[in-house]
Amino acid sequence: MLRIREFEDQSMKAFRNGLAGGYLHVYTGMEAVAIGWLGEKRSDDPVIAAYRDHAYPLLLGCSPYEVMCEIMGRRPGTSKGKGGSMHIYCLEHGFYGGWGIVGGHVAMGAGLAFAIKYREEDRVALCFYGDGAANAGIVYETMNMASLWDLPVVFIIENNQVAMGTRLEYHAAETELHKRAVGFGIEHERMDGMDVLQVRNDARRIIDYARTNQRPYLVEVMTYRFAGHGAADHDQSLYRTKEEVEQAKKRDPVELLSDYLIEHGAITEKEIEAMRKEAAEEMAEVYREAADAPKPEPGEVYDDVYSDMQPEEGH
Amino acid sequence: MAELAYRDALRRALIEEMERDENVFLIGEDIGRYQGTFRVTAGLYEKYGAKRVIDTPITEPGIVGISTGAALMGLRPVVEMMTMSFSILALDQIINHTAKVRYMSGGQYTVPIVIRGPGGAANQLSAQHSHSMEGWYAHVPGLKVVAPSTPSDAYGMLKTAIRDDNPVIFTESPGLYGLKEEVKDDEFTVPFGEAVVRQEGTDISLIGYSRMARVCQEAAEVLEKEDGVKAEVVDVRSLLPLDTETLFSSVRKTHRAVVVYEDWRSGGFGAEICQRIQESCFDSLDAPIGRIGGLNVPMPYARNLELLCIPNAEDVVKRARETLEGNL
């Protein structure tokens, strides 16, 4: 959790320093969601997510250096510098991206489960998306087919209560988003997403349900992003107050877990500080190394796609 | 050799590829129990069952999205669009997802998917069901786009499409499904990126694809009979990749060309062909390249108006005569 938080601080630094461009969205505040769910999935269960996507590949085993290189558009990046912050992929660890069209990847999430069912395997696909995506039409087409065809997919709405800059109550007619599963006969619930231990308990039970019953499940995980929507979100006062953010930070997943561990004598405050320092140093080093990494060669612009253009042709 | 209709040739390819590779499955609206709107998949539900011939709700974006996800996992979906006009609903999935992931993932993932179905006008389908979509798709890097005009090509190119690791848009023409031809009994494939000269000639090149390749042939017959003109007919077959060499060598021989396509004339794929020829064969041209496309209006319902919109042999003959008269 500390490593993800420190990684995200460094990715924001990369944006501020002009080493990362475009759109960059950090996961700060929401860590317990990905950690809880990915901690309970089986190693061969595939995962797909939207564009706030740095945490998943890190948790699945992808190296922070490769992810940071991708964010900085460098050759050693996960996509050789051609995806960027929003498009991290990691085939080796079953991470299917990394997608930038709100709601667009949800159908592919069910497609992963389709392939699992087709091959008569007992894997479960985990499909993360946000509360904003929960309004997209394709999500409902997908839920219908997932239920109709008994696909083993868990739809995980990471409800951070703001769709970019539009609050939940202004974008959703029914703000309890999990209830939208009712029309498709899909089991559903809302759960807390800040206490990682609770998330793990719920995730274990729900993944087990999907695997055992070969059925979809819709879960709405209540969370909060401490950062802005994207790195360029400069005026959060347009949609939330400082007091609201401060209130939410009282349930900072890092602090909740720290308090729990200290309370139970599993760890001391001093040890946590040492871990924090170690994570900060590790990610600062990742930043430095990535900043020195080579850029893609111009000729690579034609690689990894079918294109009818020839390199010598140019514009 | 057996005589096969275009639709039966497609079905033969589907069956052979499903037999060859168990990762191949068919998915689409009404393709199974209902036997397929144009009967391309007739009998396949009975033969392969609900696991490999999948009837879907009427939700094109979801169908393409789920199929793309399955393809990311290594399956090889063949998606039927009831008509390519409906693929407009799925453009976000096709362009933003299916066509992009290989590049965006730095080559980690491929999407071996075929999206096939009838494209273009038929018989009074009117404005929402008559689109020629191939030019739209041929604009998108990451896709391959083909438009076969004969049963043999339909068979051989569909097999190639299913075996390709890139997403392939495979457009058929509703007007071709009943077309019959002797198709070789032995298995064969037809590669992408190879145009074919249907009829050799020396005076003018008539260039088209899908049903318009046949319209070009009809026009060539009229020109020979009435004008003594020997027209060369080039069937493009594959838009992306495009076999420019065959097009260029034909034009360098005949020095004149008419390009025919059914899509709206402005911005259609034929315009791209014209420009490629102009760029590379400028010195060989004895007249401006003639261009014939569909009229730039939504497809009208009334049969006489619809026929006015779709290029026919008479239009091609007229334009060919103008091109033959003109000199640079």
Contact call for A111 and B66, based on CB within 8 A: yes
ipTM of predicted complex: 0.96
pLDDT of residue A310: 77
Q: Does A305 touch chain B (CB under 8 A)?
A: yes
Nearest CA among A165, A175, A101 for reference residue A139: A101
- Answer whether residue B327 shows pLDDT above 70: no
- What is the Cα B131 distance to its own chain's centre? 12
> In B167-210, where does DSSP find H-type helix?
none
pLDDT of residue A234: 85
| Residue A231 confidence class, pLDDT cut points 50, 70, 90 | confident
Residue of B nearest to A96 (CA): B72
Q: Which residues of A touch B56 (CB under 8 A)?
A: 145
Task: Give me the mean pLDDT over the B301-305 stretch.
Answer: 97
**Mean pLDDT of the region B11-35:** 98
All residues of chain A having their beta carbon less than 8 Å from the beta carbon of residue B143 are 306
Tokens of B244: 């420019």
**Mean pLDDT across chain B, nearest whole number?**
97
pLDDT number for residue A232:
86
Read off the pLDDT of each residue in A45-74 and give the average, rounded to a whole number: 98
Contacts of B193 (CB under 8 A, 6+ apart): B238, B241, B242, B243
Tell the CATH topology of A2-289. Answer: Rossmann fold (3.40.50)
The whole-angstrom separation of Cα A71 and Cα A88 is 9
Give which of B29, B66, B98, B272 to mutate to test A binding, by max A Cβ within 10 Å.
Answer: B66
Question: Once rounded to an integer, what is the mean pLDDT over residues B304-328?
Answer: 93
Q: What is the mean pLDDT of residues A171-189?
A: 97
Among the ranges given (A56-70, A232-246, A285-299, B272-286), the one the predictor scored with the smallest mean pLDDT: A232-246
Q: Which domains are seen in chain B, by residue range?
A: 2-183 (3.40.50.970), 196-325 (3.40.50.920)
Q: Is A82 on the interface with B (CB under 8 A)?
A: yes
The alpha-carbon gap from B303 to the nearest alpha carbon of chain A, in Å, equals: 36
Extents of the domains making up chain A: 2-289
Q: Tell me which residue in A105, A141, A308 faces B240 most closely, judged by beta carbons.
A: A308
| Alpha carbon B133 to chain centroid, angstroms | 9
Residue A20 has pLDDT above 70, yes or no: yes
Find chain A residues with C-beta within 8 A of B74's C-beta. 115
The per-residue pLDDT for A136 is 96
Confidence bin at B33 (pLDDT 50/70/90) = very high
Would you call B299 exposed, middle or buried from its count of C-beta atoms within 10 A (0-12, 13-18, 19+)? buried
The whole-angstrom separation of Cα A199 and Cα B162 is: 42
**The pLDDT value given to residue B266:** 96
The proportion of chain B whose per-residue pLDDT surpasses 70, expressed as a percent, equals 99
Flag whether pLDDT at B237 surpasses 90: yes
Does A313 have pLDDT greater than 80? Answer: no
Q: Does residue A239 carry a pLDDT above 80? A: yes
Which pTM does this prediction carry?
Answer: 0.97
pLDDT of residue A312: 75
Q: Which of B151, B156, B264, B157 has its CA nearest to residue B214?
A: B151
Q: Which of B51, B59, B96 sits opposite A104 (nearest CB)?
A: B96
Q: What is the mean pLDDT of the segment spanning A119-140?
A: 97
Report yes or no: A303 at the B interface, CB cutoff 8 Å. yes
Q: What is the pLDDT of residues B9-22, one digit of tens each?
A: 999 999 999 999 99
**Among B60, B80, B134, B232, the one annotated catalytic:** B60
- The whole-number average pLDDT for the span A240-269 is 96
Residue A308: phi, psi to the nearest 5? -90, 5
pLDDT score at A166: 95
pLDDT of A155 > 90? The answer is yes
User: What local confidence, expressed as pLDDT, does residue A2 receive?
Assistant: 97
Would you call B93 and A107 a contact, using CB atoms and an 8 Å cutoff? yes
Identity of the amino acid at A14? A
pLDDT for B148-166, tens place per residue?
Answer: 999 999 999 999 999 999 9
Give yes or no for a contact between A141 and B58, defined as CB atoms under 8 angstroms apart. Answer: no
Q: Flag whether residue A91 sits within 8 Å of chain B, measured between CB atoms.
A: yes
**Is residue B60 annotated as part of the catalytic site, yes or no?**
yes
Burial class (CB in 10 A: 0-12, 13-18, 19+), A110: buried
Using one digit for the tens of pLDDT, what is the confidence trace for B40-64? 999 999 999 999 999 999 999 999 9
Q: What is the mean pLDDT of residues B307-322?
A: 97
What is the percentage of chain A residues whose pLDDT exceeds 90? Answer: 95
> Does residue A277 carry a pLDDT above 60?
yes
